[in-house]
A = this chain, B = another copy of it.
Amino acid sequence: MRYLITFSYDGSGFNGYQKQDGLRTVQEEMEKALEFINGGEKTVITSSGRTDKGVHALCQKAHVDINVNITPYKLMRALNSNLPDDIHVIKTEVVSESFHARYMVKEKEYQYYLNMGEYNPLKRNYEWQYGKKLDIKKMQDAIKYFEGEHSFKSFTPNKDHRNNYIRTITATNINVLDNTIVFTFRGNGFLKYQIRNMVGYLIKVGEGKKKGSDIPNILLGNDRRLASITAHPEGLYLKDVQY
């Protein structure tokens, strides 16, 4: 039976989502718990996509095939008793054998948290402690240039070779709560470091060092060197995955 699992995790204790020998990863912890439930059989989980080291997920989704007979509710309960306390399963449901958690993604939402105020030790792993005032209006104008269908090659590492750098951003938003800026991006998919590189550029716009109106040309240039810094991972959250 194929199950779709919705789960959250605190990225601060992991070397990213994807399995790597000898390092603690979300995938490995999930597969360990699943293997135990699946009668000791090696069990591979397929997520909607990986998240980098230090990046959090409030709503990650993944599919898995389980051979033992178990209801979705019992699977959720069994996972939560076998998982460490920095991963939590929110929901489990039966899906068809043809469902695929990565290939069938329609839309994803990410949020990025940045603190412009005093360094906060309690939030050091949960928002970038940037500590400088930024011009919000300029950033709110600039973020709109990312909306629509574009090649985002200038916002992903040059060495990350792919056939296709075209992605569609369907919605963006910038909100401010006290000194914390919350950037929101929705789209049909995102390249490696794309959000952190877009946020990095927007920060420089907020500092008056870059211009929002240059974004269309940077997108057309297809070269990472045209853009700017990469925002730190701890401010980034995978917020939603839609099929």
Contact = CB atoms under 8 A, between A and B. Distances in A.
Interface of A: 8-10, 56, 58, 80, 85-88, 90, 118-122, 124, 126
B122 A10 contact: yes
Nearest to A83: B121
A58 B122 contact: yes
Among A87, A118, A121, max chain B CB count under 10 A is at A121
A120 B86 CA distance: 8
Contacts of A126: 122
A56 B88 contact: no
A8 B90 contact: no
A206 B136 CA distance: 41
Contacts of A9: 121-122
B86 A8 contact: no
A86 B121 contact: yes
B122 A8 contact: yes
Contact of A121 (B87, B118, B119): B87
Contacts of A10: 121-122, 124
Contacts of A86: 121, 124
Given A8-B122, A9-B121, A85-B121, 5 more contacts: A56-B122, A86-B124, A87-B121, A88-B119, A122-B126
A149 B122 CA distance: 33
Contacts of A124: 10, 85-86
Nearest to A85: B124
